[in-house]
């Protein structure tokens, strides 16, 4: 079966939800208003470690409008949510008097208005018995444990290969804690009606939230509905069901009122995860000809005292380059810090900074161009299976990116280019994401008026899911783009994977394609035995979908619209489901991730050490690009995040573990003045292991980007900065 309509996929479509967003008509969880709604405000710990000796709630309980004050002394037992494909649920809140981190929830005040709840929350008095806070990775009292996922791996004889290498680089790289900081504050509105729970919540996985709440409260999952039609950004923060969500649900149950709980900006720094800091030691050995012989990569990163979320820092290292001997080790250190979570390209963003910086240092030692070194060591096969990748345009990324950037103009010697009073440097790095897809289900309907409605309980955190899935459905059904509606963010729709791991577009696209194909098959079944239809006797393989209906290949006169079919059969609509499963190795290929090459021009003031990124070229292999406009937007956003990671972003804590820059005034993110002209080029071809040919790109631009900036700073100044963010002080340090 084919489609006869003009191609929709790969064109530059504007967001279907764009008008709603720019006019303020899109309803985010923060905007939800329910009749009779009360408001909840959190009280958080002001110490980092210890116990609550006394919590005085009398003044708060007597304050105007207060409906309830919930603490560990009166809270019912809450069960920890389930283990998920992306890690464990956080521990439930208020279950003991133990304090594990600064900003831990210690009470919840519910009142008629937000102002009353906030005023009453300030009246809650807490007396602590402080404990010894462990807040440093090198604290000898800290518990150390191996990272359960992806785990340690060894290939070949690394020790002997390093010992015999012609050239060797040994270096330690440090990355800072970063906070996701989406623009939209996380908010939850919970309402109970006759033991049925409705939750409006900021998240990236509605079905995951529903399953977690069902386990936490011991209720049937089918008696919970989670709604998330719009999300004001998340960057991974919405992948876990954080403690404020069950607290909002509990408050609604206790007060028998709908309750809204919205985190403040400061609370976002302690309540919805962050990128953990890391210390990484890398040893790389190579022959004089520039062939890698060994890579040893040890990573140590932080973990909350009471949490177990994995941090896959070295996950991408074994597959990055064709190197016969590779050893990776991951260690997590338990600290009295807010539980880390997933932040865009978790693990891979940190790991790629270290690896790609070390490759640049090796290139300098060898006297080989950094791009040429990467080309010589390109990995053409999957290390585990020995199979070629199902699609891999890395070399084309190098070629086209370098040509567009003008890489051949780069002199080998650092500090050899100037622009007025600034040193100019060129740097580059490879970016990559491992292949990640998960099962999805989609449902497709065509109505008697010929319009289509396709849906799945996914989310759109700004990546363009609404638009891309509308395009996939439009092309698969042969229905005009403006006559297709895509629905998401509602657990009454079929189960989707989380919007995370850059896997949703490919996974859900496959499910949407399958649902649409199943629907077409159903239509062919209706008309194939109907003598009244011009399509009588047709078979699925001989039918083309297009122009809002079906026609027999080679005979355009034998055509009938979906609307005509349904009207004749007196059907209001026809609906079918479709499912997708992750691709697996074939006999000849392994599922490929996405690849990129980033090229950066940085200017560094000769006296002040200030750094400005002036130009970026990113060449991207994302398989078949489902919508170029939103895909380009994703790469630009990732580049901006990479610039922020490299030069600006850092959670700063004092010796007690208190975050001292928990605001947009003090935590620096890349803004328009920091983001240069970004040139994005898409290369490669559709991936044959997926129905749509797509691969994930949402996080791709962040991998390798910080290293590309650091490598450009080195080329400009001759100073290698191995610790992020790269500050003026580090550039000027002797």
Please give the Cα distance from 600 to 603 (Å, whole number): 10
Q: Is residue 146 exposed (0-12), middle (13-18) or buried (19+ Cβ within 10 Å)?
A: exposed
Please give the Cα distance from 379 to 660 (Å, whole number): 43
Task: For 678, list phi and psi in degrees, rounded to 5.
Answer: -110, 120
Tokens describing residue 568: 């004749």
For 720-732, the DSSP string reads ---BSS--HHHHH
- Reported residue count of the chain is 734
Measured CA distances, 196 to 22, 68, 192, 356 (Å): 34, 21, 6, 51
CB 15 within 8 A of CB 632: no
Short-list 562, 463, 451, CA closest to 504: 463
Measured CA distances, 273 to 186, 236, 517, 552, 611 (Å): 12, 9, 40, 55, 29
| Catalytic residue IDs | 699
Q: Is 59 helix (H, G, I), strand (E, B) or coil?
A: helix
Please give the Cα distance from 428 to 433 (Å, whole number): 17
- HEC per residue, 453-499: EEECCCCCCCCCHHHHHHHHHHHHHCCCHHHEEEECCECCCCCCCCC
Using CA atoms of 108, 81, 227, 195 in order, give the dihedral in degrees to the nearest 10.
-70
Please give the Cα distance from 407 to 598 (Å, whole number): 11
Tokens describing residue 31: 């905007």
Task: For 496, list phi and psi in degrees, rounded to 5.
Answer: -115, 160
Short-list 452, 448, 496, CA closest to 474: 452
- Angle between helix axes 628-647 and 348-366 (nearest 10 degrees) is 70
Burial annotation 52-82 (CB, 10 A radius, 16+ → b, else e): beebebeebeebeebbbbbbbeebeebeebe
Measured CA distances, 167 to 66, 159, 286, 448 (Å): 69, 14, 5, 71
Please give the Cα distance from 110 to 39 (Å, whole number): 6
HSE toward the beta carbon, residue 326, CA cutoff 13 A: 18
Please give the Cα distance from 36 to 41 (Å, whole number): 17
Q: Is 335 helix (H, G, I), strand (E, B) or coil?
A: strand
Tokens describing residue 666: 């003090």
Strands of 96-222, DSSP E: 98-99, 105-111, 125-130, 144-146, 153-155, 167-175, 187-193, 196-201
Burial annotation 401-424 (CB, 10 A radius, 16+ → b, else e): bbeebebeebeeebbebeeeebbb
């Amino acid at each position: 079966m084919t489609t006869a309509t003009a191609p929709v996929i790969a064109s530059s479509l504007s967001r279907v939800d764009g008008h709603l967003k720019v006019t303020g008509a899109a309803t985010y969880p923060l905007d939800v208003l329910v009749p009779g709604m009360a408001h909840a405000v959190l009280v958080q710990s002001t110490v980092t470690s210890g116990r609550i000796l006394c919590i005085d709630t009398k003044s708060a309980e007597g304050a105007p409008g207060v409906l309830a004050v919930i603490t560990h002394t009166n809270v019912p037992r809450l069960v920890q949510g389930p283990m998920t494909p992306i890690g464990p649920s956080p521990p439930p809140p208020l279950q003991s008097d133990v304090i594990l981190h600064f900003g831990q929830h210690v009470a919840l005040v519910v009142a008629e208005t937000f102002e009353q709840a906030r005023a009453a929350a300030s009246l809650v008095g807490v007396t602590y018995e402080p404990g010894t806070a462990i807040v440093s990775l090198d604290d000898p009292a800290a518990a150390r444990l191996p990272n359960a996922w992806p785990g340690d791996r060894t290939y070949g004889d690394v020790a002997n290969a390093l010992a015999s290498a012609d050239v060797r680089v040994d270096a330690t790289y440090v990355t800072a804690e970063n906070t996701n900081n989406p623009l939209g504050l996380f908010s939850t509105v919970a309402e109970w009606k006759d033991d049925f729970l409705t939750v409006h919540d900021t998240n990236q996985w509605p079905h995951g939230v529903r399953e977690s709440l069902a386990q936490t409260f011991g209720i049937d999952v089918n008696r919970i509905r989670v709604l998330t039609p719009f999300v004001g950004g998340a960057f991974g923060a919405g992948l876990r069901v954080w403690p404020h969500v069950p607290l909002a649900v509990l408050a609604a149950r206790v007060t028998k009122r709908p309750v809204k709980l919205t985190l403040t900006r400061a609370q976002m720094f302690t309540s919805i995860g962050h990128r953990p800091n890391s210390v990484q030691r890398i040893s790389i050995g190579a022959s004089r000809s520039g062939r890698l012989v060994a890579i040893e990569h040890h990573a140590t990163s932080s973990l909350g005292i009471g949490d177990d979320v994995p941090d896959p820092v070295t996950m991408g290292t074994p597959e990055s380059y064709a190197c016969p001997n590779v050893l990776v080790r991951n260690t997590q250190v338990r600290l009295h810090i807010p539980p880390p979570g997933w932040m865009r390209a978790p693990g891979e963003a940190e790991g790629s900074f270290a690896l790609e910086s070390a490759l640049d240092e090796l290139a300098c030692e060898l006297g080989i161009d950094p791009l040429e070194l990467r080309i010589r060591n390109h990995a053409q096969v999957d290390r585990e299976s020995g199979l070629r990748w199902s699609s891999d345009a890395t070399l084309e990324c190098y070629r086209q990116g370098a040509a567009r950037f003008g890489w051949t103009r780069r002199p080998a010697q650092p500090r050899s280019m100037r622009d007025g009073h600034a040193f100019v440097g060129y740097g580059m790095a490879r970016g990559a994401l491992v292949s990640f897809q998960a099962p999805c289900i989609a449902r497709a309907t065509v109505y008697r008026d010929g319009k289509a409605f396709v849906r799945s309980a996914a989310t759109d955190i700004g990546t363009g899911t609404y638009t891309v899935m509308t395009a996939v459905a439009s092309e698969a059904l042969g229905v005009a783009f403006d006559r297709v509606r895509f629905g998401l963010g509602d657990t009454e729709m079929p189960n989707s994977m989380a919007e995370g791991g850059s896997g949703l577009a490919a996974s859900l696209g496959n499910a949407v394609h399958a649902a649409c194909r199943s629907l077409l098959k159903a239509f062919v079944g209706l008309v194939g035995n109907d003598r009244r239809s011009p399509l009588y006797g047709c078979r699925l393989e001989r039918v083309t979908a297009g122009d809002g209906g079906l026609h027999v290949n080679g005979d355009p006169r034998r055509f009938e619209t979906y609307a005509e079919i349904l009207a004749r059969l007196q059907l209001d609509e026809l609906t079918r489901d479709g499912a997708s499963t992750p691709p697996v190795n074939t006999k000849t290929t392994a599922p490929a991730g996405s690849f990129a090459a980033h090229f950066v021009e940085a200017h560094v003031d000769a006296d002040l050490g200030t750094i400005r990124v002036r130009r970026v070229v990113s060449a991207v292999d994302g398989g078949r690009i489902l919508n170029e406009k939103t895909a380009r937007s994703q790469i630009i956003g990732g580049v901006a995040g990479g610039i922020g990671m490299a030069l600006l972003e850092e959670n700063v804590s004092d010796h007690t573990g208190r975050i001292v820059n928990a605001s947009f005034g003090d935590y620096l993110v890349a803004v328009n003045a920091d983001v240069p002209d970004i040139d994005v080029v898409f290369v490669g071809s559709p991936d044959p292991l997926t129905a749509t040919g797509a691969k994930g790109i949402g996080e791709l631009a962040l991998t390798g980007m910080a290293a590309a900036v650091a490598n450009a700073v080195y080329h400009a100044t001759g100073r290698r900065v191995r610790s992020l963010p790269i500050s003026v002080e580090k550039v000027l340090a002797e």
